[in-house]
Amino acid sequence: MSFTQQELADPELSGSEADTDDAATARTGFLRAAGRRGGAAGRRRTTRGWKFWVGIGICAFFAVVAIAAPFLVPNPNQSSPVGLQPPSAEHWFGTTNIGQDVFGQVVAGTTGSVVIGVVAGAITVVLSMLFGIGGAFLGGFWDNASSLISNVFLVIPGLPLLIIVTDYVESRDIVVIAIVIALVSWAGAARVLRAQTLSVRSRDYVDAARVAGESTWRIMLREILPNLMPIIASQFVFGALGAILAEAGLSFLGLGAPGGKSWGSILFFAQNAQAITLGAWWWFVPPGLCIAILGAALGLINFSIDERINPRLRTAAIAKRSRARLTRGAAA
């Protein structure tokens, strides 16, 4: 027995049969089944996005700490008479060899690491869009020139170039380090955006916009760019993650921002003071753990975006859920 939407909402519209007990029972069962299906679908949608929401939650926590760091730790360089003290009620993460509170150092370093990730990720996205999307859409000379520049940056080893450029720059602060990292790491993202732009540019709705007389910039902004937003978001997340790890490596080598606070600089000073040899694990474990946790959170966000935009990953996930349901059904 089937019911229309009006009959389900008002039993009097369904005639005499709808007034019987059997019809009322069938209508109640139909509504309950629909509610169960809707609730199950909502739960599946929520479960599918757990990677994204976990990653966003962790990143939001670190962003709040980075913003509130000057208020939480007004003077992270303040020293106490006791050096290399293990974690205690007074010093949650212990102290360094000169008595500085490691917890304050980690909180203050959060600001530097997060700023480097955001600035480098944004610059990477801007450069990759300029050389990838712009060159591919305009074609001709511009595409050849942007491809040549991208290829040159791709074949140059990134880490040696980063070390040379960073050592050459006289005034090194957090923002300068972020800019240098972005300048040597945008080429791969540009190649990905170029390939996707070439695919989108040849689709029917873009040709229809050209025939309708739309301007070049309007077609790029209204027809092409919205279809590339998931990939651009993924490139930003990947760029931020790479920048945080690159800055930690540079600071560990002594090429970070002088006087700047970041998780990498904490590891640098811990290594110089032979914290591992002295058994002062509380000095290097917290910043390393923060780098790992934030990197994992950004990785989860990137994986969730990939599952949304990659048909193969989406099909594999659907097949995996189908096999799991069949296994549960067979077991029941």
Q: Copy the structure tokens of residue 115.
A: 């700023």
Structure-model confidence comparison of residues 85 and 30, the more confident one: 85
Residue 68: inside a domain: no
CATH number for the domain harbouring residue 292: 1.10.3720.10
Partners of residue 101 on adjacent β-strands: 95
Residue 195: inside a domain: yes
Lowest mean pLDDT among 178-182, 250-254, 270-274: 250-254
User: Residue 18 has what pLDDT?
Assistant: 42
Tell me the angle at which helices 174-183 and 158-168 cross, rounded to the nearest 10 degrees: 140
Residue 50: inside a domain: no
Each residue's pLDDT tens digit, 51-83: 889 999 999 999 999 999 988 887 888 877 877
User: Residue 324 has what pLDDT?
Assistant: 67
User: Residue 201 has what pLDDT?
Assistant: 84
User: Model pTM?
Assistant: 0.74
Share of the chain above pLDDT 70, in %: 79
pLDDT band at 125 (very low <50, low <70, confident <90, very high): very high
CB 112, CB 262: distance < 8 Å:
yes
- The average pLDDT across 263-285 equals 88
Helix (H, G, I), strand (E, B) or coil at 3: coil
Residue 247: inside a domain: yes
Residue 49: inside a domain: no
Q: Tell me the residue range of the domain where 290 lies.
A: 112-331
Residue 126: inside a domain: yes
Q: What domain count does the chain have?
A: 1
Residue 204: inside a domain: yes
**pLDDT beyond 80 at 49:** no
Residue 207: inside a domain: yes
The span from the CA of 119 to the CA of 246, in Å, is 13
